[in-house]
Structure 1
Amino acid sequence: MSSDMQSFHEKMSDARSILLHLQELYGEHSQTAQYEISRELFRAKMSEGGEVGEHVLKMISMIERLEALDFSMDYNLQVNLILQSLPDSFSQFIVNFNMNNIECTLMGLLNKLVSTQSQMKTKGKDVVALTISTPRPLKPKKKNMAKKQYALAPKAVGGVGKNKGKASTVRASESSKQGGKCFHGGEANHWKRDCP
């Protein structure tokens, strides 16, 4: 500390006021650093096919830098940030990790992710080699089958069939008028729908 600062702080009554004054002077830089590091940490996303070891080490170093600036995070939040930054190819690992409630340090998580990535690379090569060496046989194309023709049902009494409409309903209503009595008006050979 410079001599001017020492002489200024000698006039203060207690250590707390000195500490508050120093935080006011130099604390803004740590706040800016916290913001920049946390922004980079929360926006981190590993590209597909990248090395998971380098990516997770970078994230762990950012977490440690934040802790050095008195910005501590919960362990579960740290693990979730790392897992969320992984590409979709690690989705099965993430499901297994969460379903089995695996507890490990961040370095332990790093080791598990590196071994998972190496297994995925060897399995991917085997699958590619297998598909190249054993092509699928082609299925024969099905020929178009002739359309089956079904016999049409005979027309029902009362005009149900192709000729639907007023002509068939008129005939049905004329035959039904014979010998009926209207319940509404009480007239013979008359129906309610024909009432005025």
Structure 2
Amino acid sequence: MDDMLDVGCLMLATMTPELQKQHEDMVAYEMIQNLKEIFEGQARQERYETSKALFQCKMSEGSPVGAHVIKMMGYIQTLEKLGFALNDELAIDVVLQSLPDSFSQFILNFNMNEIEKTLPQLLGMLRTAEGNMKKGGSKSVLMVRKAKGKEKGKKVEKSKGIGKTKPKGKLALKPKGGVSKDGKCFHCCKTGHWKRNCPIYLEEVKKAKAVGASVLGTAHEKESS
């Protein structure tokens, strides 16, 4: 009975004046039961809202992981104060499930290695992983930009050549400095001269003319006779 009186006095000393008036004639047990009836519904609603915010919390891609995890740790601590504490493993699973796809490799390694960490330790690991991903992402972006620049350069070079065509007839022009050593005769197929200067061709032309002249002479003699 002495302990009950001491606890009752301590409870009344920590209450607001309005609550003290309501409980000044009650013993400690009656105070506890009455306080539960008053505040239990409010605590249940608060627990519901807190757990809903915790389980629906999702980190958007590109946002800082530190602020996201700290916010979730606040929800978990509030549930613990309301009498519904999550053990470390379940709390870590809830945090990992809220991360975006960019942390998929980190989550895979974490689960495969069965790493046992507290929430503050997990926060430090996630910050380190985020820093490494940012460094790797900047290099990959730089490489992509360089590759795009090369492609643009190739397109510009190709576009410069568009519309330029070789003038017709250049190959058929005669060289000004005489026949080159690589010039080829179309009659005898020898190099060093053209067909019009080919000695074989010229000799054949002379013979043809001579034969033609003799034929014409014989025809004239037949006509006169």
State yes or no: 1:6 paired with 2:23: yes
Q: Which amino acid aligns with 2:133?
A: M
Alignment of 1:1-196 (within 5 A): 1=15, 2=18, 3-10=20-27, 15-134=28-147
SS where residue 9 of structure 1 aligns?
Answer: coil
- In the TM superposition, what whole-angstrom CA distance separates every residue of 1:174-194 from its partner, at most 9, and x where no partner exists? xxxxxxxxxxxxxxxxxxxxx
The Cα RMSD (Å) is 1.8
Larger RCO: Structure 1 or Structure 2 (Cα < 8 Å, ≥ 6 residues apart)? 1
TM-superposed deviation, 1:8: 4.1
Q: Which stretches in structure 1 are left out of the alignment for 5+ residues?
A: 139-196
TM-superposed deviation, 1:71: 1.1
Q: Which amino acid aligns with 2:21?
A: D
Q: Greater CA radius of gyration, 1 or 2? A: 2
What is the TM-score when the length of structure 1 is the normalising length? Answer: 0.64
2:23–2:31 CA contact under 8 A, matched in 1: no
Q: Which amino acid aligns with 1:20?
A: Q
Size of the aligned set, in residue pairs, is 134
TM-superposed deviation, 1:105: 1.2
Moved over 3 A (4+): 134-138
State the identity %.
Answer: 40
- Hey, what's the Cα distance between the residues in 2 that align with 1:7 and 1:102? 53
Q: Which stretches in structure 2 are left out of the alignment for 5+ residues?
A: 1-14, 155-225
- Hey, what's the Cα distance between the residues in 2 that align with 1:16 and 1:74? 30
SS where residue 86 of structure 2 aligns?
Answer: coil
Give 1 or 2: higher helix fraction. 2
Q: Which amino acid aligns with 1:67?
A: E
